[in-house]
Every structure is written in structure tokens, then in C-alpha cells.
Amino acid sequence: MRKLALIGLFLLALVFASCEDEGSAEIIVNCTDRGSSANVWVEVYSSKGIQVQQVSTQRGIGYVKNLAQGTYTLKFKGHDDKYYSAIKVVKIEDGDSKPVKVELTDPPDEGASTE
């Protein structure tokens, strides 16, 4: 009986931990390469440097949804697996729907990790 209670408690903790990083904010990314819409992969990293999402843009537009409040770093990768020089740092609050325009050939935002 005691083992069953511990297993139940462990499972409940796992469910709670997996929900903790989800939120109601989104980032709407508009990517261009030398002024033209660009279809790329957008990699989203938490302030701890952990990749939390990856989305693809269509016609240069991508939606990063269900983000918790915090600061995120966006990195951009072509479908040939080469990274662009642009790196964006975005701070969001719960419920935000924040548009971010990105010229992929721009230098990284100040304070962005280029690792």
C-alpha cells in the first residue's frame, strides 16, 4: 500500500512538473532574408539555455505558442542546417502575443548567447 501511494505521489509530481513550463504567451516571428520572406526553423531556448521548442515558418511567419512568462532566445536555422547570424532575445509576460521582426542577416541581439 505504501509503495502504491509513493508511486501515485511520484506520478502527480511528474504531471505537475511537465505543466509548469507551459503558459499562455506566444511569439509571432516574421523572418526575412535580405527583405524577402524566409522559411526557416526557429529554435526557442529558455533563460537557462534549454531548448523548449522548435517551429518552422511558412511564408516567413512562425508561431511559438504556450510559453510561460520569461526571457527566451530565438535562433534561426535554414533547412540546410546552417544557422543565420541573427539571434533575438525576447521577454514575455503571461498572456502576451508579441510580434518579432527578424532580418536573418542582422547581428545577434546584445547579450544573446552565440553558442
pLDDT tier at 40, thresholds 50, 70, 90: very high
CATH code where residue 94 lies: 2.60.40.10
The number of distinct structural domains making up the chain is 1
pLDDT tier at 56, thresholds 50, 70, 90: very high
Residue 80 has pLDDT above 70, yes or no: yes
pLDDT single digits (tens) 85-113: 999 999 999 999 999 999 999 999 988 87
Q: Is residue 111 part of a domain?
A: no
User: Which residues span the domain enclosing 52?
Assistant: 22-103
Residue 113 has what pLDDT? Answer: 76
Q: Is residue 114 part of a domain?
A: no
Q: Is residue 9 part of a domain?
A: no
Q: Is residue 108 part of a domain?
A: no
CA distances (Å), origin 113, targets 9, 33, 45, 105: 38, 21, 10, 16
Q: Is residue 1 part of a domain?
A: no
DSSP strand pairing (97-103 vs 70-77): unpaired
pTM of the model: 0.80
Q: Is residue 110 part of a domain?
A: no
Residue 5 has pLDDT above 80, yes or no: no
Q: Is residue 47 part of a domain?
A: yes
Q: Is residue 11 part of a domain?
A: no
Mean pLDDT over each residue of the chain, to the nearest integer = 87
